[in-house]
Amino acid sequence: MRRDFTHEIRVALPVEEAFLLFTPKGEEAWVPGWSPDYVFPETGETTKDMIFRTGNGEEVTIWTCLDWQPDRHHVRYLRTTPALRVAFVEVTCHAEGSDTKAVVSYGYVPLTTKGQDMVASMTQQAFAANIDEWSVLIADYLRIDAHSQLKCDNRPS
């Protein structure tokens, strides 16, 4: 069994900047608690074949970058959570005026009975709500970052 889900969000940044928010290092800025353990390369630079780990317990997940095309604003990962499931994760960004449309897709394949139950219970509505939360987190990050820069830019010399 494989379950595929896709959802789009808008990011109030030009595509070149917005796309970088969907790299492991970029997500450190806006995803609460996101702290990847970079295996290769140890710098966390996004490259094809990069490997990193996240999670703990049965949610320990090993990520591998299968496809990295920054010139096309496209990235594809394989995330393996051995106790539960595998997911193919794909993000493609497109310019829409001065903003960006990010298309996020996940394809889930269970690895265990528990993983099969989890994947079977997933819905498009829950997936969309989760990705919509990304939009909120990114907007909050951009608001805070703009506020911080404004404070820095207005400091007396």
Task: Show the tokens assigned to 38.
Answer: 């970079």
pLDDT for res 149: 56
Write the pLDDT tens digit of every residue in 69-93: 999 999 999 999 999 999 999 999 9
**Confidence bin at 152 (pLDDT 50/70/90):** very low
Residue 44: burial class (beta carbons within 10 Å; 0-12, 13-18, 19+): middle
Give me the amino acid identity at 55.
G
**Confidence bin at 52 (pLDDT 50/70/90):** very high
Residues in the chain: 157
Residue 89, classed as helix, strand or coil, is strand
Q: Is 73 left (phi over 0), alpha (psi -120 to 50) or beta?
A: left
Write the pLDDT tens digit of every residue in 18-38: 999 999 999 999 999 999 999
- Residue 156 has, within 13 A of its CA and on its CB side, a CA count of 0
